[in-house]
Structure 1
Amino acid sequence: MSDTPIALQLAEYAHKFRHQCLPEEITALVRQRFIDSLACILGAYGAGPVNAAVCYAAANPAKSSSVFGTTIQTTPEIAAFANGVMVRFLDYNDGYMGLEPGHPSDNIPACLALAQAEGATGAELISAVVLAYEIQMRLQDAASLNKRGWDHVNYINVAMAAAASSLMKLDVAQTEQAINIALSAHLAMRQVRSGSLSDWKGCSAANAARNAIFAAQLSRHGMTGPSPVFEGDMGFFKLVSGPFDLDTDRFGTPENGDYAIRRSLTKTFPTNGELHTAVWAALDIRARIDDLDDIACIVIETSEFNRRVLADTPEKWLPKTRETADHSLPYNVARSLLDGDITLGSYSSAKIADPAVIALMGKITVVEDGALTALFPRHLANRVSVTLVSGEIVVSEVISGPGSVETPMTDSDFERKFRRMASPHLDESAQAKVLRYVAELQHQSEFTALFAAMVASG
């Protein structure tokens, strides 16, 4: 283990990263994740938590950063929060599963807000996004937080502090202090994803990104933070994560090409990523069963993580909120069997209270399968077995599905997802403007046109 504090190692890596020339294939991945995030934003227009965040932004005007779907401008940290809530609301943005789960695209709206405030270029924005992905995903690989009662967004504190420092062109010492402040002062508890889930489930990451920008702003003006924030006697290792190694020499560079963003996963359903393969399995079984009334019982075999996180409390077996339902393994399997799809409408109040889905969940058992746990987190596999009243057993096991590293979504897939989310809000002309803008993201010199095109028509 290096004697150099981890915060300083990350600061040095971030400072060098700013001068990297990224390969086109990495830039192309950012463009895809950007379109994916804009699709999620559009799908969140008008949602309760989004409206609350927009109202907060409107009450704090500043000519710095724009809020999607509006003509409001506010401070970069508030814009990062409001736009971040939009990206995260549907649970439809990309994700990554290491020892800890997380959603690296949660950094994108914060990077964009700060890039606009700082007068950064599209190329500088892309660099900051790749840096944020790199640090967050490497931390997710390094240590689990959820098993110890802490939320994964604590890694966004670090990743976004580094990305913010890059966009603000801070030096190494300032970047280290931004990381120290962001991590030590803003720890989030795992309770946000336990029991009956609240609006804050979709806001926690946006809040971490907001706090990281605030920390970088303070550091720019000379504020220092606790050090060493990871290794200290009362630091992150001892109180939160346990000790871990983090070798920045192995992080992505143009020489090794091993950028973490390559391993991020994108979603074909607006729900928790770890249960997507269970949805695919349920859809496969549905096509092989003549009548759902013939189902006697259902067994979902899954990983230790899925059983512990997605089928752990009574609320997951009788959800009352959208946020709980989209993180419920039994609900999503039952809903898939009933409807043949998972869509935004799958989590309406009527669908959640549907007697048919409640009855079908009553036939479900969730158990851990050691072989599936062994595949985790490389593969987020699930097996669904349906026993019919005749005694026949119909089984479907899905190891990896669309949006995975093995079967990545294509540019056309992302465009379809964007247009599907955009169609209720943007006319075809506006949709085309957004798509053209993102296609040339690395050459953009301002961001006003993007926000203007994303304001809902009518």
Structure 2
Amino acid sequence: MTQTERIAEFANSVSFNAIPSATIDRLKLHLLDAIASFVWAQFQELPANVKKALTALSPDGIMPADHLAQLYTTYIRYPDFMDNFLAKESTCHPSDNIGILLAAGHLEEIQGKDFLTAMAIAYDVECRLTELFPVMIEGYDHTVLLSFSATAGAGRLLGLSREELTNALGIAGCSFNPVVTSRASYTSQWKGLVSSMVNAGCMNILSIAKQGITGPEKLFEIPEKGLNAIYKQHLDVDWSKEDFSIISRCSLKTFNAEVHAQSVLELISELAAAHRFAAGEIEQVDITTFLTAYHIIGNGEYGDRTVVYSKEQADHSLPYLAAVTILDKQVYPQQLIADRITSPDVQELLKKVKVHTGFPLHKPVKVAGMLDPYTSAYPDKVKCKVEIVLKDGKKISGEKETYKGFYSTPLTYEDVQQKFIKLNESYVDRESANRIFTLVSNLENASVKELLDAINFR
């Protein structure tokens, strides 16, 4: 069997009862976390503009399912406050899958058990592919892999046969190969919207495949022209052996910032609380981190992160995030608005933040990864060291290797409820919030329609 056939068979063979109860609880946690962003985004300008653009394509006012998949994914993705799965050479946002699964609820009557089953399938497929087929090392965006997981999960909900789903996976794999350029500095708004376009296309493809349109069965395996050859890798997974344990390695965010910054920001918060220094006393902030963090948010391969004037650049700039955490004691959406980003205090302080790895050489990557203790521990740990040098010569330092929300020290359901409330207290009353909390915690006994009714406010 080919890899697309195996993924299709896996997606169609899983039953709700076969998914461990601990995994179901973890999925509910991540679903509520995604819904917190989904609700908040409905009241923000950029997602509202996306909705306006998509509505303009639907003169009768009824948005088709592919556009809903795009809109719902925009809602979840835009805040950049969602979950992550970290692999040695790549990362992904498994909650990117949720938008298309919710959109499927406009096409079919879907029960909560079926939704959670599809969510487990999608999470497992994307995380496993991220671990074993890390396209980012070849310059492609991790949303390449979303095309397979979103298609598998939504295909299950929409009742595609194994043959139809195999075709859909082949078509999706040929059609969506975004490049990592959107994440490089200076980072644009498209960084947070790529996954929404992938999901729109996948919903469209599922409808086409259901009508018998075929795609390449040997998508990965075709010599020279298959994905194995194109990405210079080899995918050989026995999907029948997946037990969903990989989902327990997904992490959530405490700070509204890129995932690799989380342990640094938590450490800075702890140091600031313990030593109570003022920002004006700081001479320099030295941050030691692992290679992936350095490259993406610390002035490495993804470019200069010291020029910061927009949300998208700010939440991917470790110098900015460190500075604003020192000043504001938190990173939430209010730290990512233009007025805060351009304030003289944070602009001056971010220039004092220096980021480096634990080993001075960064190439060859495999050698650097072995010699640098911070990099060698990743992704099982997210080690960092922060040293704050004050103008009077005093040095304040500490180290961390995890953070609250990392998979080894996860947030609780109550923690995510508080995150929801903090994000949305200006927009949603407590009665509406409690309704959402109850629905998600008991989703196996509810329907997707009930959930959609509860979370759509605009």
Structure 1 Cα separation of the partners of residues 303 and 234 of structure 2: 33
8 Å Cα contact 1:49-1:85 kept in structure 2: no
Tell me the residue number matched to 1:35.
32
Answering whether residue 68 of structure 2 is matched by residue 79 of structure 1, we say yes
RMSD over aligned Cα atoms: 2.0
TM-fit CA distance, 1:223: 0.9
Answering whether residue 329 of structure 2 is matched by residue 346 of structure 1, we say no
TM-fit CA distance, 1:235: 2.0
Tell me the residue number matched to 1:118.
108
Answering whether residue 352 of structure 2 is matched by residue 363 of structure 1, we say yes
Q: Residue type of the partner of 1:172?
A: R
Answering whether residue 375 of structure 2 is matched by residue 373 of structure 1, we say yes
Answering whether residue 5 of structure 2 is matched by residue 14 of structure 1, we say no
Tell me the residue number matched to 2:414.
412
Structure 1 Cα separation of the partners of residues 134 and 407 of structure 2: 21
1:60-92, CA deviations, whole angstroms, 9 ceiling, x for partnerless residues? 4599xxxxxxxx752221111101101011111
8 Å Cα contact 1:279-1:336 kept in structure 2: yes
Structure 1 Cα separation of the partners of residues 84 and 426 of structure 2: 25
**Of 215, 219, 222, which aligns to 2:205?**
215
Indicate the SS of the match to 1:316: coil
Tell me the residue number matched to 2:363.
none
* 242-251 vs 342-351, greater mean Cα deviation: 242-251
Tell me the residue number matched to 1:109.
99
| Structure 1 length-normalised TM | 0.91
Tell me the residue number matched to 1:68.
none
Structure 2 Cα separation of the partners of residues 294 and 320 of structure 1: 24
TM-fit CA distance, 1:456: 3.9
TM-fit CA distance, 1:329: 1.0
8 Å Cα contact 2:140-2:179 kept in structure 1: yes
Tell me the residue number matched to 1:243.
234
**Of 181, 187, 193, which aligns to 1:203?**
193
Structure 2 Cα separation of the partners of residues 61 and 20 of structure 1: 40
8 Å Cα contact 1:18-1:166 kept in structure 2: no
8 Å Cα contact 2:90-2:130 kept in structure 1: yes
Q: Kindly tell me: are residues 175 and 18 of structure 1, through their superposed partners in 2, closer, same or farther at Cα, counting changes over 3 Å? A: farther
Structure 1 Cα separation of the partners of residues 16 and 59 of structure 2: 30
| Structure 2 length-normalised TM | 0.91
Tell me the residue number matched to 2:362.
none
* 275-284 vs 416-425, greater mean Cα deviation: 416-425
Indicate the SS of the match to 2:251: coil
Q: Residue type of the partner of 2:170?
A: N
**Of 134, 141, 144, which aligns to 1:151?**
141
Tell me the residue number matched to 2:175.
185
1:405-456, CA deviations, whole angstroms, 9 ceiling, x for partnerless residues? 2211111111111222232122222222222222221112351x43333344
Structure 1 Cα separation of the partners of residues 73 and 113 of structure 2: 21
Identity %: 22
1:268-304, CA deviations, whole angstroms, 9 ceiling, x for partnerless residues? 1111111100101111222214333232222111111
Indicate the SS of the match to 2:186: coil
Structure 1 Cα separation of the partners of residues 57 and 112 of structure 2: 26
* 124-133 vs 411-420, greater mean Cα deviation: 411-420
Tell me the residue number matched to 1:136.
126
Tell me the residue number matched to 1:382.
384
Structure 1 Cα separation of the partners of residues 166 and 95 of structure 2: 23
Structure 1 Cα separation of the partners of residues 176 and 309 of structure 2: 29
Q: Kindly tell me: are residues 219 and 43 of structure 1, through their superposed partners in 2, closer, same or farther at Cα, counting changes over 3 Å? A: same
Indicate the SS of the match to 2:164: helix
Q: Kindly tell me: are residues 158 and 372 of structure 1, through their superposed partners in 2, closer, same or farther at Cα, counting changes over 3 Å? A: same
Structure 1 Cα separation of the partners of residues 204 and 456 of structure 2: 27
TM-fit CA distance, 1:31: 1.8
Q: Kindly tell me: are residues 131 and 143 of structure 1, through their superposed partners in 2, closer, same or farther at Cα, counting changes over 3 Å? A: same
TM-fit CA distance, 1:147: 2.5
Long gaps (5+) in structure 1 = 64-71, 253-257
TM-fit CA distance, 1:33: 1.5
Long gaps (5+) in structure 2 = 359-371
* 160-169 vs 233-242, greater mean Cα deviation: 233-242
8 Å Cα contact 1:275-1:382 kept in structure 2: no
Structure 2 Cα separation of the partners of residues 433 and 177 of structure 1: 39
Answering whether residue 321 of structure 2 is matched by residue 332 of structure 1, we say yes
TM-fit CA distance, 1:19: 6.5
Tell me the residue number matched to 1:452.
453
TM-fit CA distance, 1:12: 1.6
8 Å Cα contact 1:18-1:128 kept in structure 2: no
Q: Kindly tell me: are residues 143 and 25 of structure 1, through their superposed partners in 2, closer, same or farther at Cα, counting changes over 3 Å? A: same
Q: Residue type of the partner of 2:439?
A: Y
Tell me the residue number matched to 2:266.
280
Tell me the residue number matched to 1:69.
none
**Of 307, 319, 323, which aligns to 2:294?**
307
Q: Kindly tell me: are residues 291 and 446 of structure 1, through their superposed partners in 2, closer, same or farther at Cα, counting changes over 3 Å? A: closer
Answering whether residue 426 of structure 2 is matched by residue 424 of structure 1, we say yes
Q: Kindly tell me: are residues 365 and 197 of structure 1, through their superposed partners in 2, closer, same or farther at Cα, counting changes over 3 Å? A: same
Structure 1 Cα separation of the partners of residues 12 and 443 of structure 2: 22
Number of residue pairs matched by the alignment = 440
8 Å Cα contact 1:300-1:364 kept in structure 2: yes
Q: Kindly tell me: are residues 91 and 131 of structure 1, through their superposed partners in 2, closer, same or farther at Cα, counting changes over 3 Å? A: same
Q: Residue type of the partner of 1:283?
A: S
